[in-house]
Amino acid sequence: MLDGVKISVFGATGQIGSQVVDLLAAEGHDVVAASRRTGVDVLTGAGVAGALRGAHVVVDVLNSPSYEDEPVLEFFGTATRTLVEAAQSAGVGHYVALSIVGATRLRMSGYMRAKAAQETLIEASGLPYTIVRATQFDEFAELIVASMTEEEVVRVPDARIQPIAAAEVAAHVARAAIGSPAGVVELGGPDKISFAELARIVGARHGDHRPIVVDEDATYFGARVDDDSLVTGEGAVLGTVRFT
Ligand SMILES: NC(=O)c1ccc[n+]([C@@H]2O[C@H](COP(=O)([O-])OP(=O)(O)OC[C@H]3O[C@@H](n4cnc5c(N)ncnc54)[C@H](OP(=O)(O)O)[C@@H]3O)[C@@H](O)[C@H]2O)c1
State pLDDT tens for residues 94-125.
Answer: 999 999 999 999 999 999 999 999 999 999 99
41 lines ligand 1 (CB under 6 A): yes
Cα(211) to centroid(ligand 1), Å: 33
> pLDDT, tens digit, for every residue of 3-49?
578 999 999 999 999 999 999 999 999 999 999 999 999 999 999 99
From the number of C-beta atoms within 10 Å of its C-beta (0-12, 13-18, 19+), residue 64 rates as middle
Cα(4) to ligand 1 centroid in Å equals 26
Rounded CA-CA distance 20/167 in Å is: 9
**Cα–Cα separations (whole angstroms), residue 26 to 19, 21, 51, 105, 171:** 10, 8, 20, 37, 12
pTM: predicted TM-score of the whole model, two decimal places: 0.97
What is the residue-wise DSSP string for 31-69?
A: EEEESGGGT--TTT-TTHHHHHTT-SEEEE----S--SH
- Is the shortest distance between the CB of 100 and ligand 1 below 6 Å? yes
| Per-residue model confidence (pLDDT) at position 244 | 85
User: Is the CB of 98 within 6 Å of ligand 1?
Assistant: yes
Confidence of residue 155 (pLDDT cuts 50, 70, 90): very high
Query: Is any ligand 1 atom within 6 A of the Cβ of residue 139?
Result: no
Ligand 1, atom 37: closest residue by C-alpha: 35
